[in-house]
Structure 1
């Protein structure tokens, strides 16, 4: 492999590794890292740890805090209060040099004190308003520490980086919302380099420091197994987002997994190979380390009841021997790759070059876009397991994936999602079980956290995670299905047939389903086939929005692609105004050996609940939601068709009936985006079925949603509706310039302004339904009513001061009011800008 260029990140990692043995070299490396990127906060933070002079330490901490306002960094800065910061030698090259003194300085002109005082008052009021708003919701309690341990410099640094990104992105959201129960959450990141000895050392360090509530990690099976007994002895729970080894959670009651384990993956792969691909023989190539051996063993054990594993071939850095051995098997014999991506790419290319055109199956480590893209077009007949198929993401998961790509410049691997789930499920237990989060009682909190995770044993106690309901098997592994993806030539898409976990409602129903072949028993697990329907929506027009009753008209093309029975096309629109709205006859209906394609056109009124708290800065979502009439999510799932995935986002806002027109025909609103996603809805209750008592099953349906986001064209709206209010503001301000003895006119003007504002507010909000909360615009009107009432009060006070001949006090009050009036208005405007801009 070509040598990777040194970056601030890699140089900092090298410095961290040297900090104990050669601190001087470590400091030099950090200086080079900062020369590469002086905005890389970890380099400043580590340099602060290595310098020996307090002045230099404070300088580094100040630079780190300026880049990222971290509470731990701030506490370290405050501990050095009174020290004059000085840049250390390693960082002087990145410090801006001082400017020369001016040659001919111009004497500063003295301003008028009263003008400066008035301007200062205005700025102070505005800054106070913004400051109050920005401090609301900030966490002020003692930090909650969570550790993330992954191979940041290990076998697959890019995957480990996604683990950290998934956690850090979520933590930023949590801390911005005030933390957990008023406590900020701080992430402690450790790099075990996917090495067992390093993993043990880090686990001992975490236990010794005694700060961490729970651990997210480690990244691979071998390091997780090495650290597990250390965490268990200390009573610390760990949740791995990516290590699949079955022995990990089996051997420790403190280790959990936020994705499926190798045993579950082996069952799904075995059934898929036998029942979907129809294979009675499979060859297995696996990595010769703990992760690869565990995945291979789990598959071999599961596949034993369906057919024969004809070969088990370990692979090294040179895959040619494994390829030569597999090449000699009967044509068409599927090959399972239980390897990491670095070996998988070479194996797939080598097998295809050797003429092996049989199906290639892959474990979850290969089920990523990066693996697919690395194959360079050699993607035919791939069947890869994954926890996350991008075309079947739910609405929140799709929004998360878009935000992730916007933040980091590339789409997320599934590892980022499962790492986010590992963080969220732990914090879910923290909040629902009301942990004390006091450093003095951390041992008790850890025990209650483990008990809370253990109690999440079925769908009724599941946590609504990013990839679906998250709950654990008795051994601590996430009970979730394995998705299968294949390549359409440009991207990974869901295979036409999926498998899902079947939870029988009663022994009688189970016996019947086993007998008719709809359910497959494998070990102590039951699986059933699920029909996948590739679904596409092409919007033509959105119009006739009625915000009072939450209805709108949508015209769109809908197509369904599937293999199997036509009941997949028997759908209803759950949010249609007409409850019996049907698809009608298809415009096109084609069935051939590749499957069925049906195209429909739908034009009718739909409804959705609207949220007006931010009115008139609100964003509304116009949805059309379809669901099968009779088949549950165990039988059919609707996913986004590849034709939609291949389109740029702006294409979704062009009319399918007229390529020159936009879909938006709603006056005073702008269409900003359109999304298409699936979700599963239902209930985990027995729903009155006495035979289902004691099960965690229920009725769940797969829904598919097309969603258009619209925003008000705010500027014309504000100009039209706020112009009368601006005139009232001007007139009311003039009331402050009357003589103090003339109170009748100012009082009358203030009262008239209050009454007129109430009428204006009623006219503006008349287009809204009856809501129990105060919308954003109402707060502005209320602020002016309060201001007008203040003007009335000031007029009365000035009249009183004039009548007792306290003219100086009256004049001071008048001047203060004339300055305070615009300052108050500026503070209100600044608050609105801060909240809604």
Structure 2
């Protein structure tokens, strides 16, 4: 069925046709006869107005008339929904409805006068018409290729027009961006994935209605959403009863996943978040008391309840202040909370379990009232948009840093600690949409991706009659992701779920540097002890902190920066290169953070050496080093000579695991334009690239975690405790070959050989020996040229791009030899006409073949 919301009235359309169609839509249920008349009038004004045809197809009662209307609509606009409706009435002959019968061209007369001498022309016209029809059918078939296979449908439900519309738009962008990639690669099991977006307006009533609609339509395999806890809780029983799995990317209330084995969460829940924030307040901020301000919705209540439980392990809550819902009540309770907090200890942290609007008002009010206490916020307050709002408010007040100082926010994504794949994704997102993604975009991408993974490995049938069991298989596959060893490699790290369906992941704490949120110097991670004895020992020593049923260990965060001075001496055969660069480390705590090695250095014992600068102030250390040595990487030559090589410098702590030390990108790097990375750190007027015939196109920096989930010989390490992981920091320089000079130098002999070989097609059949000799010589010479060109490459097991070009010419030369032999045979048997036709075809086909090969390379590598 077509919804009224699907029809948009465009200004450039004929106003009369559009207006009449709109009137018909309004009368569709109350007066269908009058609605059909209005649609007929609309089509009389604009016969190609596709919405009118689609609505007329909905209103007619005869299948033949419906088939006629759908055929006309599909001819105007190729649409998957129209295609599916057409298939339902494909067996019925098309009949025009009475409302448009006068608009159809009349049939031609039964007899026609035959004009002498026109028979041959008529036949050619008929042949031409058949060709045109066949080409048209082929074009329509190609344009509607996706309709050959029924798409797999996925729903995204969020408040597109609610209070969190910005976050919802980031979710939709991230999901669409990922599905574009998935569909370009063939979809799931050869089926395209179609996204259905629903706006629940962040209201419970609308969320319930949409959940029931999704169940009633019975299309989607799983749901991404809802975005808020209230809406997710309202929809959860509906999805559970219908057997539809759902993954929320941002709702944190524990009840959502606790009370439903069909609901999952692609980020941490409020229970995990409260554990981490409680430990941070107690162990890092050193506070034994705290105040809590929470909104009276499910997110706020859940955040408050879980924090009271977690923080009760370390201290007590001195104030528990609710923020009422509704504009007037909320404003009054915000004022009351600020008044109350002014009387508290100025060092006592304040936890805000609120959304962005209330958070901004509370922070502005508290700082204006002179409250300088640390403000700790939940993930809803950790977005780039929220920080930008604070900075904008500071600018209006003329007091930079007055609002962004002394803030500590929990988040699933810190932009300065993105891994390599996450960094690539964030850069692609920014190029496509013009802004950096918010964390909700990352968790939404994880939500859609884990569902696609479940569909790929779940052995689904994909038929409508099997949809119920397919959904159960998707749910079961998600539930099987229960520990690190049985995890899914998602954007933010290995994704697996707790027993209650919430993603098992650490909470990062970010603080403001005045321009953005960056990782706080001290973080915590989930500790998975190898044995009970080691756990008791670690807890006794204080290196592991117990909170409720969870164990956390302290992680030292090292702000890391690399400034490349020069890259030279690239040896493509050996995969080695020389890099000269500065590297600096900023950290609090012990100097073990500086005990690093370069894991891809040619010399295995290469270390940082002695620092050029070593400064420690207020417990924070800054160390600067200079490193100049040879490194190695696995180079990729499939696109040679159009290849791009990624040359990396990989730094890793020698003794500390990823749970103990994590290297993140320093804000000094984040503040720079990426183009600056291409300038030498030792000489700003020079380029970093000193490799002849190569051009440095980009430089980027990122962190990554490497390791193994195997037990590594520890017989007592089992399950999630097995394995060991390290934090690495990478600097990556992308070099692309200067292709034009390379091609001129290396392909000029081949071009001359191609020109000479072409001449053999102009020899007479009697001179076949000379022509064959030229063709064979061309094949042998091409093989020698190819060997000379590829001799600079290492031994690889695949065919590189340039080899395909040479092989194409070898094939062409072989065809020329064969044609020469066939021409000789035709001439001997006196079939001169055939010989001349073959000769002409070969002379035309030779350059056409070459142009086709060049065009293929241009399309792929231009």
Query: What range describes the TM-score normalised by the shorter chain of this pair?
Result: 0.7 to 0.9
SS in 1 for 2:626: strand
Which position in structure 1 is the counterpart of 2:286? 278
The reply on whether 1:375 has 2:378 as its aligned counterpart is no
The reply on whether 1:731 has 2:744 as its aligned counterpart is no
Give the C-alpha shift of residue 435 in structure 1.
2.1
Which position in structure 1 is the counterpart of 2:359? 344
* Separation (CA, whole Å) in 2 of partners of 1:759 and 1:76: 60
Q: 2:844 aligns with which of 802, 806, 819?
A: 819
Q: 1:460 aligns with which of 485, 502, 521?
A: 485
The aligned runs of 1:652-691 (5 Å cut-off) are 652-691=677-716
Decide whether the 8 Å contact of 1:139 with 1:178 is kept in 2.
Answer: no
Q: 1:441 aligns with which of 457, 460, 466?
A: 466
The verdict on how the C-alpha distance between 1:340 and 1:10 changes in structure 2, with shifts beyond 3 A counting, is: farther
Give the C-alpha shift of residue 695 in structure 1.
4.1
The reply on whether 1:365 has 2:377 as its aligned counterpart is no
SS in 2 for 1:284: strand
Q: 2:410 aligns with which of 352, 369, 385?
A: 385
The verdict on how the C-alpha distance between 1:461 and 1:608 changes in structure 2, with shifts beyond 3 A counting, is: same
The verdict on how the C-alpha distance between 1:45 and 1:700 changes in structure 2, with shifts beyond 3 A counting, is: farther
Which position in structure 2 is the counterpart of 1:191? 199
Number of residue pairs the alignment of both structures matches: 762
* Separation (CA, whole Å) in 2 of partners of 1:203 and 1:51: 29
The worse-fitting range, judged by mean Cα deviation, of 146-155 and 391-400 is 146-155
The aligned runs of 1:26-425 (5 Å cut-off) are 71-72=80-81, 141-316=149-324, 317=327, 318=331, 319-376=334-391, 377=394, 378-425=403-450
The reply on whether 1:540 has 2:569 as its aligned counterpart is no
* Separation (CA, whole Å) in 2 of partners of 1:514 and 1:145: 48
Give the C-alpha shift of residue 320 in structure 1.
2.0
* Separation (CA, whole Å) in 1 of partners of 2:759 and 2:222: 63
Which position in structure 1 is the counterpart of 2:644? 619
The worse-fitting range, judged by mean Cα deviation, of 374-383 and 530-539 is 374-383
* Separation (CA, whole Å) in 1 of partners of 2:75 and 2:321: 55
The aligned runs of 1:770-789 (5 Å cut-off) are 770-789=795-814
Decide whether the 8 Å contact of 2:614 with 2:623 is kept in 1.
Answer: yes
The worse-fitting range, judged by mean Cα deviation, of 624-633 and 686-695 is 686-695
Which position in structure 2 is the counterpart of 1:105? none
Decide whether the 8 Å contact of 1:613 with 1:773 is kept in 2.
Answer: yes
* Separation (CA, whole Å) in 2 of partners of 1:355 and 1:60: 66
Q: 1:490 aligns with which of 497, 500, 515?
A: 515
Give the C-alpha shift of residue 697 in structure 1.
3.6
Give the C-alpha shift of residue 152 in structure 1.
0.7
1:487-515 deviations in Å (ceiling 9; x for gaps): 11111110000010000110110011000
Q: 1:696 aligns with which of 688, 707, 721?
A: 721
The reply on whether 1:711 has 2:726 as its aligned counterpart is no
SS in 1 for 2:791: helix
1:662-697 deviations in Å (ceiling 9; x for gaps): 000011111010010001111122211122134434
* Separation (CA, whole Å) in 2 of partners of 1:391 and 1:421: 19
1:774-806 deviations in Å (ceiling 9; x for gaps): 111111111111111111111111111111111
Larger radius of gyration: 2
SS in 1 for 2:785: helix
The worse-fitting range, judged by mean Cα deviation, of 686-695 and 331-340 is 686-695
* Separation (CA, whole Å) in 1 of partners of 2:719 and 2:740: 58
* Separation (CA, whole Å) in 2 of partners of 1:792 and 1:459: 61
Give the C-alpha shift of residue 609 in structure 1.
0.5
* Separation (CA, whole Å) in 1 of partners of 2:239 and 2:263: 9
* Separation (CA, whole Å) in 1 of partners of 2:519 and 2:74: 48
Give the C-alpha shift of residue 325 in structure 1.
2.1
Give the C-alpha shift of residue 592 in structure 1.
1.3
* Separation (CA, whole Å) in 1 of partners of 2:300 and 2:814: 75
* Separation (CA, whole Å) in 1 of partners of 2:409 and 2:287: 16
* Separation (CA, whole Å) in 2 of partners of 1:402 and 1:412: 9
The verdict on how the C-alpha distance between 1:229 and 1:605 changes in structure 2, with shifts beyond 3 A counting, is: same
* Separation (CA, whole Å) in 2 of partners of 1:540 and 1:84: 75
Decide whether the 8 Å contact of 2:83 with 2:147 is kept in 1.
Answer: no
Give the C-alpha shift of residue 251 in structure 1.
0.2
The verdict on how the C-alpha distance between 1:62 and 1:365 changes in structure 2, with shifts beyond 3 A counting, is: farther
The verdict on how the C-alpha distance between 1:216 and 1:556 changes in structure 2, with shifts beyond 3 A counting, is: same
SS in 1 for 2:824: helix
Q: 2:503 aligns with which of 478, 482, 486?
A: 478
Which position in structure 1 is the counterpart of 2:581? 556
Decide whether the 8 Å contact of 1:140 with 1:182 is kept in 2.
Answer: no
Give the C-alpha shift of residue 471 in structure 1.
0.3
Which position in structure 2 is the counterpart of 1:93? none
1:146-194 deviations in Å (ceiling 9; x for gaps): 1111111112111111111111100000000111121111111111111
The reply on whether 1:579 has 2:610 as its aligned counterpart is no
The worse-fitting range, judged by mean Cα deviation, of 317-326 and 628-637 is 317-326
TM-score for both structures, normalised by structure 1: 0.87
Runs of 5+ unmatched residues, structure 2: 1-7, 12-20, 29-48, 59-65, 97-127, 395-402
Which position in structure 2 is the counterpart of 1:116? none
* Separation (CA, whole Å) in 2 of partners of 1:643 and 1:575: 25
* Separation (CA, whole Å) in 2 of partners of 1:287 and 1:46: 45
Decide whether the 8 Å contact of 1:139 with 1:182 is kept in 2.
Answer: no
The worse-fitting range, judged by mean Cα deviation, of 740-749 and 569-578 is 740-749
* Separation (CA, whole Å) in 2 of partners of 1:558 and 1:709: 19
* Separation (CA, whole Å) in 2 of partners of 1:262 and 1:572: 38
1:119-150 deviations in Å (ceiling 9; x for gaps): x9xxx9xx9xxx9xx99x98964311111111
Which position in structure 1 is the counterpart of 2:39? none
* Separation (CA, whole Å) in 1 of partners of 2:850 and 2:762: 17
Decide whether the 8 Å contact of 1:138 with 1:175 is kept in 2.
Answer: no
1:409-437 deviations in Å (ceiling 9; x for gaps): 11100111111101111111222233222
* Separation (CA, whole Å) in 1 of partners of 2:69 and 2:678: 55
Give the C-alpha shift of residue 347 in structure 1.
1.3
Which position in structure 2 is the counterpart of 1:598? 623
Give the C-alpha shift of residue 742 in structure 1.
2.1
1:602-636 deviations in Å (ceiling 9; x for gaps): 00000010111111111110000000000111111
SS in 2 for 1:706: strand
Which position in structure 1 is the counterpart of 2:540? 515
* Separation (CA, whole Å) in 2 of partners of 1:222 and 1:511: 40
The verdict on how the C-alpha distance between 1:185 and 1:591 changes in structure 2, with shifts beyond 3 A counting, is: same
* Separation (CA, whole Å) in 2 of partners of 1:718 and 1:416: 43
Which position in structure 2 is the counterpart of 1:427? 452
The verdict on how the C-alpha distance between 1:154 and 1:684 changes in structure 2, with shifts beyond 3 A counting, is: same
Give the C-alpha shift of residue 565 in structure 1.
0.2
TM-score for both structures, normalised by structure 2: 0.84
Give the C-alpha shift of residue 726 in structure 1.
1.0
SS in 2 for 1:743: helix
Give the C-alpha shift of residue 551 in structure 1.
0.6
Decide whether the 8 Å contact of 2:525 with 2:552 is kept in 1.
Answer: yes
